Amino acid sequence: DTGVSQDPRHKITKRGQNVTFRCDPISEHNRLYWYRQTLGQGPEFLTYFQNEAQLEKSRLLSDRFSAERPKGSFSTLEIQRTEQGDSAMYLCASSTGQGETQPQHFGDGTRLSIL
Whichever of 64 and 111 has its CB closer to other proteins, that residue is 111
Shortest distance in whole angstroms from residue 70 CB to other proteins: 21
Report the amino acid identity of residue 115. Answer: L
Binding of other proteins at residue 112 (CB under 8 A)? no
Shortest distance in whole angstroms from residue 22 CB to other proteins: 15
CB atoms within 10 A of CB 95: 22
| Residue of 54, 57, 87, 106 interacting with other proteins (CB under 8 A) | 106
Question: Is the omega angle on the peptide bond into residue 25 within 30 degrees of 0, that is, cis?
Answer: no
Where does this chain touch other proteins (CB under 8 A) — which range of 12-20, 60-68, 77-85, 98-106? Answer: 98-106
User: How far apart, in Å, do the first and last CA atoms of the chain sit?
Assistant: 36
Binding of other proteins at residue 70 (CB under 8 A)? no
Which residues in the 23-62 window bind other proteins by CB under 8 A? 31, 33, 35, 40-45, 48, 56, 59
Three-state SS for 20-67 is EEEEECCCCCCEEEEEEECCCCCCEEEEEEECCEEEECCCCCCCCEEE
* 13, containing H or E segment: strand 10-13
Binding of other proteins at residue 7 (CB under 8 A)? no
Shortest distance in whole angstroms from residue 50 CB to other proteins: 9
